């Protein structure tokens, strides 16, 4: 078994551990944010962590009514013209905590007096040392180059912060169901094999919307780095504003659907691309009755839409693993990529 596949299987336990062990630091972060009352959030990240930041854009926007901006680290490094961060809460997300450009954002934010929070698997890292607060993922060593357990742990860490800022009994109960939801997704592993054939080529389009736009981006990245499929993710709304023009018969489309407010738009886009002769496969979390078992893998986790990126990320990782194996590639060691990428 590859490290990637083994680490995918560890995610329910990682989530359970994070829920147990992060209570005190999450409570402290929530209290500090309520005290400071930042005007908004600026999040610095790269790679998979950037997709976690995209998730936070929707999560903090919907749950906390907060404006979220994704930092452009090159403004802090190459251009040396950092924006004014006064009154912002700056969050750095890095699995290793060693990405110099993400660290540079955190250091500048601290210099300007902004509230700073690091989310990392390594507490004693440059990122952790630069921040006022550190929320450690506690995922254990991740040997595979493609992130799995550290990605979903980052999502859960963000959800815990959101809950700590604006507490809600129902959302708190839903958070406790995340490990179980991940376990249910893992049980769908063999079902995902039937979705592989359309993706056993060199290109694919992945579509999501809202909270699961981040999941679509993460699946596209996983297909590229594990299987060398030229995959591109779009939000359905952006896709219909122009990129849909590239669609032609035979291009495989993956639709990531967590139900909720955007469910109708996901159904509409499926119909449009299917009519153009595209093979469409779906990853679904919800009770949708419009399911073709030959092209859909569905997990009914019981999670609200806000948390379905945690269960659907597991399905996405498993699907990417199956595609890599089918194409004869080692998902643990993608060419040209290292576990820690030190960009500036």
User: Above pLDDT 70, what percent of the chain?
Assistant: 98
* pLDDT on residue 81: 97
* Residue written as token pair 């809600």: 168
DSSP designation for 87:
T
| Residues 143 and 199 grouped into a single domain | no
> 10 Å Cβ neighbour count for 329?
17
Burial pattern 113-128, b for ≥16 Cβ within 10 A else e, equals ebbbbbbbbbbebbbb
* pLDDT on residue 161: 98
* pLDDT on residue 340: 63
* pLDDT on residue 288: 75
Could you give the CA distance from residue 2 to residue 144 in angstroms, rounded to a whole number?
8
Report helix angle 308-326 to 213-227, nearest 10: 20
pLDDT at 342 over 80: no
* pLDDT on residue 328: 94
Contact criterion met (CB below 8 Å) for 87 and 114: yes
| Residues 161 and 188 grouped into a single domain | no
Write out pLDDT tens, residues 258-292. 998 998 888 899 999 999 999 999 999 988 777 88
Report helix angle 149-165 to 169-176, nearest 10: 160
CA–CA distance from 179 to each of 37, 183, 187, 322 (Å)? 31, 6, 13, 22
Q: Which CATH number do you get for residue 294? A: 3.40.50.10490
Q: Provide the pairing of β-strand 253-257 with 280-285.
A: parallel
| Residues 283 and 299 grouped into a single domain | yes
Q: With H, G, I as helix, E, B as strand and everything else as coil, classify residue 322.
A: helix
CA-based R_g, the chain, Å: 19
* pLDDT on residue 341: 67
| Residues 155 and 214 grouped into a single domain | no
Who has greater pLDDT, 339 or 178?
178
Number of domains in the chain: 2
| Residues 187 and 138 grouped into a single domain | no
Work out the average pLDDT over 88-104.
96
Write out pLDDT tens, residues 229-265. 999 999 999 999 999 999 999 999 999 999 989 988 8
Work out the average pLDDT over 13-34.
98
Work out the average pLDDT over 209-228.
97
| Residues 13 and 129 grouped into a single domain | yes
Write out pLDDT tens, residues 59-68. 999 999 999 9
Q: Does 341 fall in a domain? A: no
| Residues 13 and 52 grouped into a single domain | yes
158 is in which domain, residue-wise?
A: 3-176
> 10 Å Cβ neighbour count for 339?
14
Confidence of residue 338 (pLDDT cuts 50, 70, 90): low
Work out the average pLDDT over 43-50.
96
| Residues 196 and 300 grouped into a single domain | yes
* pLDDT on residue 206: 98
| Residues 220 and 258 grouped into a single domain | yes
| Residues 315 and 268 grouped into a single domain | yes
Structure tokens at 262: 């955007």
Burial class (CB in 10 A: 0-12, 13-18, 19+), 86: exposed
Q: Does 343 fall in a domain? A: no
pLDDT at 122 over 90: yes
Structure tokens at 125: 């890292």
| Region of residue 242 (phi > 0: left; psi between -120 and 50: alpha; otherwise: beta) | left
Which of 85-94, 123-132, 280-289 has the least mean pLDDT?
Answer: 280-289
> 10 Å Cβ neighbour count for 190?
10
Which of 18-22, 152-156, 329-333 has the least mean pLDDT?
Answer: 329-333
* pLDDT on residue 335: 80
Q: Does 149 fall in a domain? A: yes
pLDDT at 329 over 80: yes
Could you give the CA distance from residue 129 to residue 107 in angstroms, rounded to a whole number?
9
What's the whole-model pTM score? 0.96
| Residues 293 and 263 grouped into a single domain | yes
Helices (H), the chain: 3-9, 11-21, 23-36, 48-64, 100-111, 126-130, 149-165, 169-176, 178-186, 213-227, 236-239, 263-275, 308-326
Work out the average pLDDT over 30-50.
97
């Amino acid at each position: 078994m590859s490290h990637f596949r083994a680490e995918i299987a560890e995610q329910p336990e990682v989530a359970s551990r994070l829920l147990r062990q992060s209570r005190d630091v999450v409570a402290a972060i929530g209290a500090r944010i309520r005290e400071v009352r930042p005007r908004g959030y600026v999040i610095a990240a790269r790679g998979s962590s950037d997709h976690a930041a995209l998730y936070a854009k929707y999560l903090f926007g919907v749950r906390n009514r907060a404006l979220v901006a994704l930092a452009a680290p090159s403004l802090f490094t190459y251009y040396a013209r950092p924006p004014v961060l006064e009154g912002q809460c700056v969050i750095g997300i890095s699995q290793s905590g060693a990405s110099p450009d993400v660290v540079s954002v955190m250091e500048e934010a601290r210099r300007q007096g902004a509230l700073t929070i690091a989310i990392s698997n390594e507490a004693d890292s440059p990122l952790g040392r630069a921040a006022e607060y550190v929320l450690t993922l506690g995922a254990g060593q991740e040997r595979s180059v493609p992130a799995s357990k550290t990605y979903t742990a980052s999502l859960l860490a963000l959800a815990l912060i959101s809950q700590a800022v604006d507490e809600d009994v129902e959302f708190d109960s839903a958070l406790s169901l995340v490990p179980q939801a991940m376990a249910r997704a893992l049980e769908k592993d063999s079902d995902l094999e039937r979705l592989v054939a359309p993706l056993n080529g060199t290109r694919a389009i992945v579509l999501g919307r809202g909270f699961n736009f981040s999941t679509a981006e993460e699946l596209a990245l996983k297909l590229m780095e594990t299987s060398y499929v030229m995959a591109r993710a779009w939000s359905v709304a952006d896709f219909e504003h122009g990129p849909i023009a590239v669609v032609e018969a035979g291009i495989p489309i993956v639709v990531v659907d967590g139900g909720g407010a955007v469910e109708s738009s996901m159904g509409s886009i499926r119909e449009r691309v299917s009519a153009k002769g595209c093979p469409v496969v779906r990853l679904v979390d919800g009770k949708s009755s419009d399911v073709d078992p030959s092209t859909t893998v569905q997990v009914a986790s019981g999670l609200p839409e806000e948390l379905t990126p945690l269960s659907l990320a597991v399905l996405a990782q498993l699907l990417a693993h199956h595609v890599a194996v089918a194409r004869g590639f080692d998902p643990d060691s993608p060419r040209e990529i290292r576990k820690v990428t030190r960009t500036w």
